[in-house]
């Protein structure tokens, strides 16, 4: 019990800490932050249930006014803004990632975790992000997808990194990778 609570809390803090790393610009000028890498790691390392709880805990702290989102953003305003859909997608994405890693037991963990991060961390998160953007800004789903598309390559890189990191973590601390416990 205590270990689960501390792991969930530490991963919520990890999402926040990764968001504070300054964003790096991709070749074509789109800034990417490490924050969504944290969300992916919650799913691949903690599994579906605890990974989702860690992301929800992080969002709860953002909602009550801590500036933990990348760029020092936070408070209730971010849940009313045009990118609120992505915040809704984060816990659901973490759940899908965790479930995928838990169910796919056969094969290379780096490949499975990377694939899971692409399904949950990109397909699911962008689905909610684009629908949310479309709702707040009144733009069609097609137009919203076009606007968000430049950010996808950065997230593909992060999904691959999440896969490699998960396998390395499983070698370093097998008992802590709860999705494989």
CB 50 within 8 A of CB 41: no
Q: State in angstroms the smallest separation of the CB of 1 from other proteins.
A: 6
- Measured in whole angstroms, the distance separating CA 106 from the mean position of its chain's CA atoms is 24
Task: Map the footprint of other proteins across residues 104-143, applying CB under 8 A.
Answer: 136-139, 143
How far apart, in whole angstroms, are the C-alpha atoms of residue 130 and residue 118? 16
Site string for other proteins, 3-42 (x = CB under 8 A): x-xxxxxxxxxx-xxx-xx--x---------x--x---x-
- CA dist 8 and 18 (Å) reads 15
* DSSP 8-state secondary structure symbol assigned to residue 66: -
49 counts as binding other proteins under rule CB under 8 A:
no
The phi-psi region of residue 121 (left if phi > 0; otherwise alpha if psi is between -120 and 50; otherwise beta) is alpha
Please give the size of the binding site for other proteins, defined by CB under 8 A: 57
CB-wise, 73 or 111, nearer to other proteins?
73
Which residue, chain included where needed, has tokens 């962008």?
126
58 scored as a contact of other proteins (CB under 8 A): yes
Which chain residues interact with other proteins by CB under 8 A? 1-3, 5-14, 16-18, 20-21, 24, 34, 37, 41, 45, 57-58, 60-61, 63-68, 71, 73-82, 136-139, 143, 147, 161, 165, 168-169, 172-173, 176
């Amino acid at each position: 019990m205590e270990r689960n609570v501390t792991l969930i809390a530490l991963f919520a803090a990890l999402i926040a800490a990764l968001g504070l790393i300054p964003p790096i610009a991709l070749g074509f000028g789109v800034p990417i932050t490490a924050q969504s890498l944290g969300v992916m790691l919650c799913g691949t390392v903690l599994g579906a249930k605890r990974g989702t709880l860690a992301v929800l805990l992080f969002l709860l702290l953002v909602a009550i006014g801590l500036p933990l989102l990348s760029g020092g953003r936070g408070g209730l305003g971010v849940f009313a803004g045009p990118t609120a859909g992505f915040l809704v997608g984060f816990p659901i994405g973490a759940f899908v990632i965790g479930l995928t890693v838990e169910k796919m037991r056969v094969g290379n963990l780096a490949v499975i975790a990377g694939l899971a991060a692409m399904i949950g961390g990109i397909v699911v998160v962008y689905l909610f992000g684009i629908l949310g953007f479309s709702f707040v800004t009144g733009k069609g789903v097609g137009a919203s997808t076009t606007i968000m598309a430049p950010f996808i390559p950065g997230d593909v890189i992060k999904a691959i990194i999440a896969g490699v990191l998960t396998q390395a973590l499983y070698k370093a601390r097998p008992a802590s990778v709860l999705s494989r416990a």
